[in-house]
Amino acid sequence: MKNIKTICFIMLCALSIAGMDANAQRLKLNINYSTAMPASSGFKEYISKGSLRGWNANLLYDINDQVSVGLGVGSQSFYERLPRGLYKTDQGDMSAVLTNTVQVMPILLQGQFNLLPEARIQPYVGVGVGGNLVQYSQYFGQFSNSSTKFGFAARPEAGVYIPVGRTRESSIVIGGAYNYLPFKQEGLSNFNNLGLHAGFKFPLR
């Protein structure tokens, strides 16, 4: 919860510095529920299961009908519990139930391009570049090894906007993204994952 509050604070500060005018109805908030699957071999060796516990949010400023820029944040939590077995550790072989967890929290500068801004269903493409806060833990029964690191992040994405309402200023959002999260620490490498998201975008007034 503390990390989420920190990310939201950074998000609000960045937009205040940018001086974007919400009264112009060009500033829009996009909030999504997200799922993800590990996509790199190093990640799959650590956690093979997908994650249903995720969200992302974007504050985007419409430069015109097609181009938007802004800031995006999010969180995706991965978890896998393995049965009791004999596992190798730095202290030697250990018989225990093994639990692996990873939480990735990207903070990205984002750009989106709306391909058909006047259509009833509007496809879009986008890209984000920034940093990624990683928290990972490995539990051998009651013994744990945890760490937090910060690294590079990139996020190409594509999806559709489906305008709703009388003014069509708000939209349902459905899309997918590839989260490129290079990482190397303590035998772990690359938390790249493939995600799907759905949510709602609306103007801030």
Q: What is the chain's pLDDT, residue by residue, as a tens digit (205 residues)?
A: 445 445 555 555 554 544 444 444 689 999 999 999 999 998 998 899 999 999 999 999 999 999 999 999 999 999 998 777 666 666 666 667 788 899 999 999 999 999 999 999 999 999 999 999 999 988 876 667 788 999 999 999 999 999 998 888 899 999 999 999 998 887 788 899 999 999 999 998 7
Looking at the 3D structure of the chain, how many domains does it have? 1
Question: How much is the pLDDT for 23?
Answer: 44
AA letter at 3: N
The CA angle 116-119-120, to the nearest 5 degrees, is 135
Question: How much is the pLDDT for 94?
Answer: 64
Give residue 173's domain range: 2-203
Contact 95, 86 (CB under 8 A): yes
Contact 62, 26 (CB under 8 A): yes
For residue 97, the domain's CATH number is 2.40.160.20
Question: How much is the pLDDT for 138?
Answer: 82
Question: How much is the pLDDT for 142?
Answer: 67
Q: How far is CA 126 from CA 2, 178, 186, in A?
A: 29, 11, 33
Q: How far is CA 67 from CA 70, 110, 192, in A?
A: 10, 11, 27
Question: How much is the pLDDT for 92?
Answer: 60
Which among 97, 78, 115, 113 has a CA at the least distance from the CA of 191? 78
In whole angstroms, give the CA distance from residue 97 to residue 45.
16
Question: How much is the pLDDT for 90?
Answer: 60
